[in-house]
Structure 1
């Protein structure tokens, strides 16, 4: 997992397929007003999401096998929980169609990161993550989830 400023994202081009094209599409989506939904492109897609964070203690970790997530916080903030894949316990089996599996993890194996507007985090297949969380009060957010195929 990598946590960084969105403006520094291009530094990770060597490990991310389609990154230059995805960054161009992000700018187009911003200019178009960030209308929520899924936007499909050649080789990757971007989800524009608006929502409210959920309690940290009510969530489950997720992983993906085919896609790397870049979760880019546009407005608002969230807490994101991380646990390495080898610390995760199966909760629901892998859903191949939606490229997602859900897990639980012990608190001792969990790291919490505060993600502010302008920041992003990159989640690889070995990274369990629980996005869009809070501990005290719910917060509203607007974010992009950029789904790039895993580099082989």
Structure 2
């Protein structure tokens, strides 16, 4: 898990395989994120793509821990803020088994995890071994817009 700000994106460009992180960083740095409509954006086929989402945050207790076997998430907040929570997957209890088609497994909320308020221009990077719980309200539920860049790790 990494928590950082937009000014440090270049630091992460050499991670991973086949320049996939570099492609993700270039997308985040060279795209007018504010103008993106919700939806999926192809960057490098199934290796790197982005999902732009808008929603209203929810109480922490209602948000769900998840993890992915094949993809790393860069969850970058465009506007608004939310609490993102991290816990190692070996410290979580599986609630909904892994769905290969959607590359997601869900866990229960028993672990309080490490919480961070992520604001506009900030992001968290969650690797396949990182349980993460996005969507939680930082105070009262409020609108948020973010882009989740998915990087294939295998």
- Structure 1 pair 129/149, CA: closer, same or farther in 2 (3 Å)? same
CA shift, 1:13, in A, is: 2.3
1:148 aligns to 2:154 (yes or no): no
Which runs of 5 or more residues in structure 1 are unaligned?
A: none
CA shift, 1:106, in A, is: 2.6
Rounded Cα–Cα distance in structure 1 between residues aligned with 2:59 and 2:132: 14
1:116 aligns to 2:123 (yes or no): no
CA shift, 1:16, in A, is: 3.6
CA shift, 1:143, in A, is: 0.6
Rounded Cα–Cα distance in structure 2 between residues aligned with 1:61 and 1:48: 20
Rounded Cα–Cα distance in structure 1 between residues aligned with 2:61 and 2:33: 36
RMSD: 1.8
CA shift, 1:29, in A, is: 4.2
1:83–1:105 contact (8 Å) kept in structure 2: no
Q: How does 1:17-96 map to 2 (within 5 A)?
A: 17=17, 18-27=20-29, 29-30=31-32, 33-42=35-44, 43-96=47-100
The alignment's TM-score, normalised by the length of structure 1, stands at: 0.90
Rounded Cα–Cα distance in structure 2 between residues aligned with 1:5 and 1:72: 9
In structure 1, the residue matched to 2:137 is 134
1:87–1:105 contact (8 Å) kept in structure 2: no
Moved more, 92-101 or 40-49: 40-49
Rounded Cα–Cα distance in structure 2 between residues aligned with 1:136 and 1:75: 15
The alignment's TM-score, normalised by the length of structure 2, stands at: 0.88
What is the DSSP-based 3-state SS (H/G/I as helix, E as strand, rest coil) of the residue aligned with 1:137?
coil
CA shift, 1:83, in A, is: 1.1
- Structure 1 pair 104/34, CA: closer, same or farther in 2 (3 Å)? same
Rounded Cα–Cα distance in structure 1 between residues aligned with 2:135 and 2:34: 24
What is the aligned residue count? 150
